[in-house]
Amino acid sequence: MIIRKTRKQKNIKNKNHKNKNQWEDHLTKKAKSENYPARSVYKLEEIQNKFKIIQKNDNVLDLGCAPGSWLLYAAKQTGKKGMVYGIDLKENDIKLPLNIIVIQDNILNLKNSDFLNKDKKFNVVLSDMAPATTGRKDVDTLRSFELCNMALKIADDFLIENGNFICKIFQGNDFNSFQQKVKSRFKICKIFKPESCRKHSKEIYIIGKGKKSKA
């Protein structure tokens, strides 16, 4: 049996799609008008407004920092006496203020070993890293999980006690186990999906506040 959609149903679908695109276009235009390279800045802004992750004078590490919106926003939050360090496989080609240092490298296999050394510590670790998607949900979520584990390992090694952590993850079979890992390391663990995320996206953010003492 063939079920045909009525004209009314088609109009509702088209209207919803149009509204979604208008919202996304609005954020893209807003980001451009505020001198941010991408609309992703508003995800971090929502997280910051709700959870107060970044403080004045903080040292912040941004993993997967290209195209640079999170770098710029974090630098505004820390102020001139804070520092933001970024790393990404892709080159950042935007003009950066003096309190941002960026390298182009692979966080999974660092060639620039001086960028992260035992003497460097951070108040905040941010990870907006995402794998190159294949279209296969199982593969994409597994790759996302691997990047999240790497981000958490870096937080283990370089985040100060009582430091904060933000990590993007694709929802899948490994989500609960990763959430438990974050809970075991931080005094507060929250799950948050910013309104500025694309509605069809499976991404969600895990926020860890107050890194526990290793003792």
The catalytic residues are 168
The answer to whether 186 touches 134, Cβ cutoff 8 Å, is no
Please name the residue that has the structure tokens 């290209």: 66
CA–CA separation, 121 and 112 (whole Å): 17
CA–CA separation, 153 and 142 (whole Å): 17
The tokens describing 124, both together, are 């905040």
CA–CA separation, 129 and 137 (whole Å): 17
The answer to whether 69 touches 38, Cβ cutoff 8 Å, is yes
Residue 41, φ and ψ in degrees, nearest 5: -60, -30
